[in-house]
Amino acid sequence: MTLPTLGILRSLPAVDRSDLLAESVAVALAGWEHERSVAVVEIDPALADTAALTEAYSLPITASANCVVVAGRRGGEERIAACVVRADTRADVNNVVKRALDVRKASFLSTERAVDETGMEYGGITPLGLPESWRLLVSAEAADIDVAIIGSGVRRSKLLLPGSLLPELPRAEVIPQLALR
């Protein structure tokens, strides 16, 4: 099995470098059937945000997939979803996500709460290792990325994997028109 690579980033087997992953990410990865198809790359934590990362490492913006967390309420019940979209798009929170969650209003979860509930660092939140009760919505554009760059749960590294594996993540649902340009 060949590890995914991208640009000048040095790929290492993610399952062998749990020191570069949030604990929940390492646990989820270790139990996933595609664990050997995921690489981790160490980066400068100051460059964890997508724009800084792509510029510093000369990477195409279309290789990055961002994970945003959205919540809404229906009948007193809170419904939360992590949405994975290609970095040159944004999640259609006001229409598609709202309908998928079947809520009247959907909004981004506060940074503090997202960090607290995932056990991940801001700038590193990823679709691997999310709370079991959360839905995982994936855009078709993210799933079409040849080698996708996603968070690792920490700011000092990123994961590389074939975008085609994003729909294979536990609880993943590919949602048509999730991403807006």
pLDDT of residue 61: 96
The sheet that has 39-42: what strands, in order across it?
12-13, 39-42, 157-161, 148-151
Q: Does 3 fall in a domain?
A: no
Tokens 């979803």 belong to which residue?
Answer: 81
Query: What are the pLDDT digits (tens) for 8-53?
Result: 999 999 999 999 999 999 999 998 999 999 999 999 999 999 999 9
- Tell which residue, 29, 13, 34, has the closest CA to residue 164: 34
Q: Does 5 fall in a domain?
A: no
pTM: 0.96
Structure token digits, residue 27:
């646990």
One-letter amino acid for residue 157 of the chain: S
Q: 161 lies in which domain range?
A: 12-180
Low-confidence ranges of the chain (pLDDT < 50): none
Q: Does 2 fall in a domain?
A: no
Neighbour count for residue 160 (Cβ, 10 Å): 23
Q: What is the CATH number of the domain that holds 154?
A: 3.90.960.10
Q: Does 7 fall in a domain?
A: no
Domain count for the chain, please give it. 1
Q: Does 85 fall in a domain?
A: yes
Tokens 């996708």 belong to which residue?
Answer: 148
One-letter amino acid for residue 41 of the chain: V
pLDDT of residue 2: 84
pLDDT of residue 1: 65
By the 8 A CB rule, do 143 and 167 touch?
A: yes
Q: Does 60 fall in a domain?
A: yes
Q: Does 44 fall in a domain?
A: yes
pLDDT of residue 162: 98
Q: Does 166 fall in a domain?
A: yes
By the 8 A CB rule, do 124 and 152 touch?
A: yes
